[in-house]
Amino acid sequence: MATVLTLETPELGDRSYLIHDGTVAVVIDPQRDLDRILAAATAAAVQIVLVAETHLHNDYVTGGLELARRSRARYVIGGGREASFDCRPATDGERLDAGSLRLLVVATPGHTEGHVAYVVEQDGRPVAVCTGGSMLFGTVGRTDLVSAELTPTLTRSQHASVRRLAATLGEEVTVHPTHGFGSFCSSSAPSGVGASTIGAERRGNLALRVDDPQVFAAEILAGLADYPAYYRHMGLLNRAGPAPLDLSPPAPVSPPELRGRIESGQWVVDLRPRRAFARAHLAGTIGAELSTLFTTYLGWVLPWGMPVTLLAETEGEGREAQRSLARIGIDRPAGLAVAAPQDLGGVVRSYPVTDFKRVARRLGEGLALTLLDVRRDDEWARGHVVGAWHLPLPDLDRRLDRLPAGTLWVHCGQGYRASLAASLLDRSGREVVLVDDDWENAASAGLSIESGA
């Protein structure tokens, strides 16, 4: 019987899969840190004989090439003809054998041109389908990551691809997407379920509820939001063939070295919780709390190629951050300092933290403040505080001159982006107040909300 093991990467909103028959295994869309995958194979006492990618990924650096090399497994890629290294491109209709398992390749263009799904067959019967960035839970993968010129065509192809899967597979076949668990590769919010089947998707997937491909395309394209800036580098790295991952410990950095790097303009990233950073931090450092949002948002604002020195409370936190950044191609931190800000011998700064209730109370008392909203354009258009300024987080560091003078009260949707923005503003010498609160609380706190661009 086929067993599907799911390996979650919540920091990126992605899943990889190890599928085995008790003896041999297939790995679908592996992340770059292979120790998790190899440990899962060892625990199941199975040999990896096939590594298969649904597509050349645009949101993370794949571990497929190195996993195939280390496991001496076949390596098959949807869209593999674009790769500059030796691999086997997946071909629509072919069957790939792995022990008693068989994978049927189904062309599902849309998320990318060469995208495929893998239908897992056992004893000639489909039991599962790995859908990559085509059929997600309740929605589909976004179609604008390849090029603006191809986006309309890929969107129509995505509609046809999802419907093809639904039409050819039985209701009981389980669905295993790579994206859609917080990934910006999703075209819209997924259904929120943790598991699904073809039958459930027939009833609830956007591509199957909207019959007209033109109407579907219009709805998908209208809902596409900005995606992280580092995405533009992922496809290039994956087509070139990623180098093996080096997770050996970063070089230790002494306090004088750390201060020198800050003075030279390098990024020194403090991994502590955002409120701890606000209470006390070394002047010139950037606060990026180590959480499930760390990789996406630090990767989004970090200038590509900029050396990163990590500042952590423990070595383990620094190693965790190192692993997370490596998944998006930010390899080998320039160093790691394990210390409290007060022990580093430099200027220690702080800034206040508040919430929407206190913001509303201050405004209600007639006191002036400048509220800065750092959410995306689409979030701002759906609703924002009357009189607030707007500058999305990814634009902040290069457009500081657009902001008004005085103290900036910074908010976002849940507090994480605002904390990163506050630290960038503080680093530039601005006075800030972090509004660490959920956007859903703004109206109930008494703030006036309006919508529109």
The rounded average pLDDT for each run of 10 residues, N- to C-terminus, in the chain (453 residues) is 94 96 97 97 98 97 97 95 91 96 97 97 93 96 95 96 97 96 84 87 95 95 92 95 94 95 96 98 98 96 96 97 97 95 93 97 90 96 96 93 95 98 97 98 96 82
Tell me the torsion sign for CA atoms 379, 382, 384, 388: positive
Tokens of 55: 């597509």
CB atoms within 10 A of CB 214: 12
| Domain boundaries, given as residue ranges, for the chain | 3-240, 255-349, 353-450
- The answer to whether 185 and 145 have CB atoms below 8 angstroms apart is yes
For β-strands 353-354 and 384-385, DSSP reports them as unpaired
Provide the whole-model pTM.
Answer: 0.94
In the CATH scheme, what architecture does the domain 353-450 have?
3-Layer(aba) Sandwich (3.40)
Residues 6+ apart with CB under 8 A from 316: none
pLDDT of residue 191: 66
pLDDT at 368: 87
Say which CATH class 255-349 falls into.
alpha beta
Q: Dihedrals φ, ψ of 333, to 5°?
A: -50, 150
How deeply is 168 buried, as exposed, middle or buried, from its count of CB atoms within 10 A (0-12, 13-18, 19+)?
A: middle
Q: What tokens does 224 get?
A: 């596409």
Would you state the pLDDT for residue 366?
A: 85
3-240: in CATH 3.60.15.10: yes
Q: What is the dihedral of CA 325, 327, 333, 338, to 10 degrees?
A: 50
The answer to whether 286 touches 269, Cβ cutoff 8 Å, is yes
Q: How far apart are CA 440 and CA 389, in angstroms?
A: 18
pLDDT at position 1 is 79
**Shared fold status for 3-240 and 255-349:** no
Instruction: Give the CA diameter of the chain.
Output: 73
